Structure 1
Amino acid sequence: MKGKLRYAPAVICMLAIFISSSRSGEQLDSVLPWFQEWLPFLTDFNPMHYVAYFILALTISYGMGKRAGTWKGCLLNIALCVLYGITDEWHQSFVPMRSPDLLDLLHDGMGAAAASLLVLLFYSLFNRRRTRNYSTR
């Protein structure tokens, strides 16, 4: 994929987050037992913030390409995810039985930071290995 089309997975992920956030508290509570069958330790959907924003950060990294493997790209990715998290929390203020929560935003940022740092580490290790292979020839 070239250019802006590389960001399509990130847009799809943002759309999925938006749709999930549009569900009322009552709707989410009715689906929780189904998730608990697969994940018995799940008492609420708070861990899903980590997962959703981890995936969002990975998709943004894909869109960024090699820039995601720099500190500047890593920080930009986290900032974009947190910004989207802010808009998501604001959006929830209009949904019945939902409200904005700073703790949710913290979880969003933590998921995004974990993914962004993982991408940065991957690029660092990959580039170190590639550089070492060229220098031994």
Structure 2
Amino acid sequence: MRMKRARESRERNNNPVYRYWRYLPAVAVMITIFFLSSRTGDQMDSWLPWAQKWLPFMTDFNPMHYVAYFGLALTLAFGFGKHAARWTGCVLNVAICVVYGITDEWHQSFVPMRSPDVNDLLHDAIGAAAAALLVYLIANWIGYRSTKNYTAR
């Protein structure tokens, strides 16, 4: 039974249609980031008081860069599957997020009352790196625990 499930899982993961569907959450996050970065400066400033009501420590939208790109990196890791737990997968994940962040900052240069900012890109990269590291650590910890040599104490 276990062999049959493993074979079915391999067949499903090798199916190109299934592999591409796994990236849909990442595409949804990218669309959301694009939509939010299309807002003008006045529109963003109208959201800040509402956000500060729920998160009083927030003085600007910098924490939202961490959150958005943390989410993007998690959804990309879902798309990568088991490859996200390798260091090359982590580097690729962060690189994709940074490239998307660069295009997002360039896009903001065309939005009224918005401008590209290197600090925003840094916050994007930190959020993506934190998510990639978290995926790497959790996946490898689970792999370590599933080895036969591990004994719970």
TM range (shorter): over 0.9
Match of 1:114 among 113, 117, 130: 130
1:48 aligns with 2:48: no
Runs of 4+ residues deviating >2 angstroms: 132-135
TM-score by length of structure 1 reads 0.95
Cα deviation for residue 132 of structure 1 reads 3.0
Q: In 2, Cα distance between the equivalents of 1:132 and 1:11?
A: 38
Matches within 5 A, 1:1-137: 2-132=18-148
Total equivalences in the alignment? 135
Larger Rg: 1 or 2? 2
TM-score by length of structure 2 reads 0.85
Q: In 2, Cα distance between the equivalents of 1:131 and 1:84?
A: 37
Contact (CA 8 Å) 2:144, 2:150: kept in 1 or not? Answer: no
How big is the alpha-carbon RMSD for the aligned residues of Structure 1 and Structure 2? 1.5
Gaps of 5+ in 2: 1-11, 13-17
Cα deviation for residue 131 of structure 1 reads 1.4
Matched AA of 1:111? G
Secondary structure in 1 matching 2:95: helix
Matched AA of 2:120? D
Q: In 2, Cα distance between the equivalents of 1:132 and 1:35?
A: 48
Q: In 1, Cα distance between the equivalents of 2:70 and 2:33?
A: 12
Matched AA of 1:83? V
Note the alpha carbon deviations across 1:82-120, whole angstroms, 9 max, x for none: 000000000000000000000000000000000000000
Q: In 2, Cα distance between the equivalents of 1:133 and 1:32?
A: 52
